[in-house]
Amino acid sequence: MKANNLFFPFLMLFLLFGSCNKPIQNAKTQNDSIENPADQEVHAMEESRNTTTEILAKKQVPILCYHRIEYGRNDEYTVTPATFEAHMKILADSGFRSINPGQLYDYLVFNKEIPEKPVIISFDDSRVEHATIAAPVMEKYGFRGVFFLMTITHNKKNYMTDEQIINLSKAGHTIGFHSWDHTRATKYDIDSIVKQNVIEPKKKLEEMIGMPVEYFAYPYGLTNEKTTANMDNYFKMSFILSMKQDTINPLQSVRRMIAPEWKPQSLLRAMEKTFSRR
């Protein structure tokens, strides 16, 4: 979690995804008089978008957040491998189906169908056990997860390697972003910090996995009004933890719940309670 200022090998950027920074909700056609069919389709989609009020009225999808999965620690950011497996098992036994953030976005914005008992299983901080323990267990139960990466840690001890990240993406998991070095997003009112923590590392991550990175988890789960509004320029959706959802930018402040070392039944009860209110 600590910033390691000694490490950041700048590479030449190929700008492969330079045009992908703008999410579709901000897409606008420069010249409205000559429209090709693709532009017309974008406009039709724009018109069918839910309003902010409609998005806030949608039933919430439970979103779990895990950090460490290991034995020998006793804090709210850690579950044992046995507990993690028990959590996945009860979700599967209770009929939950994992969805990805893209499905959540289409459900919130375009009323697309999602499974009756949806869940998003997410992971913060790029820990190596996310690839070695969490992913295989999830896959055993037919789930796919969302991995929010803090990119300064790539290939470091106890953190995922580039290869592990690429393999997660290839296996159908979603690669999300969690800033370069875990600087609080409440400090993102300085352009250079946004450039260093979001814009440049996000591009590198996109080059690495070969696809856009469209979802963000705020470091510490915290943001403020200004940063929340600004993230709309870079991500389709961003995720918070224990703070209140922003009613002006609900898609940039989607709530998640930390899943601690709880018995499986307690987890289900907490999910029900947490996501039945705003």
Please answer whether residues 20 and 226 qualify as being in contact, where contact means their C-beta atoms are separated by less than 8 angstroms: no
Please answer whether residues 123 and 235 qualify as being in contact, where contact means their C-beta atoms are separated by less than 8 angstroms: no
Nearer to Zn ion, 236 or 256 (CB): 256
Nearer to Zn ion, 124 or 206 (CB): 124
Nearer to Zn ion, 85 or 125 (CB): 125
Long-range pairs for 219-224: beta carbons < 8 A, 24 or more residues apart:
219/150, 219/178, 219/179, 219/182, 219/183, 219/184, 219/185, 220/182, 220/184, 221/65, 221/256, 222/184, 222/185, 222/186, 223/185, 223/186, 223/252, 223/253, 224/185, 224/186
Binding flag, residue 181, Zn ion (CB under 5 A): no
Q: Pick the piece of the chain touching Zn ion (CB under 5 A) from 82-90, 97-105, 120-128, 247-255.
A: 120-128
Query: Measured between alpha carbons, how far is 209 from 177 in angstroms, rounded to an integer?
Result: 12
Nearer to Zn ion, 107 or 234 (CB): 234
Task: Report in angstroms how near the CB of residue 1 gets to Zn ion at its nearest.
Answer: 6
Binding flag, residue 124, Zn ion (CB under 5 A): yes
Binding flag, residue 85, Zn ion (CB under 5 A): no
Binding flag, residue 129, Zn ion (CB under 5 A): no
Nearer to Zn ion, 103 or 130 (CB): 130
Binding flag, residue 125, Zn ion (CB under 5 A): yes
Q: Pick the piece of the chain touching Zn ion (CB under 5 A) from 33-41, 123-131, 157-165, 241-249.
A: 123-131
Neighbours of 8 (CB within 10 A): 14
Owner of token pair 């949806």: 118
Q: Pick the piece of the chain touching Zn ion (CB under 5 A) from 36-44, 102-110, 118-126, 231-239.
A: 118-126
Task: Report in angstroms how near the CB of residue 126 gets to Zn ion at its nearest.
Answer: 9
Six token digits for residue 123: 């992971």
Query: Measured between alpha carbons, how far is 143 from 173 in angstroms, rounded to an integer?
Result: 9
Instruction: Give me the 17-56 binding string for Zn ion, x by CB under 5 A, dash otherwise.
Output: ----------------------------------------
Q: Taking CB positions, which residue lies at the least distance from Zn ion?
A: 124
Owner of token pair 């590392």: 201
| Cα–Cα distance list, 202 to 80, 102, 211 (Å) | 30, 18, 11
Nearer to Zn ion, 103 or 197 (CB): 197
Q: What is the CA radius of gyration of the chain?
A: 19
Count of residues of this chain found to bind Zn ion when the rule CB under 5 A is applied = 2
**3-state DSSP assignment of residue 199:** helix
Q: Pick the piece of the chain touching Zn ion (CB under 5 A) from 22-30, 88-96, 117-125, 226-234.
A: 117-125
Report the interface residues with Zn ion, using CB under 5 A: 124-125
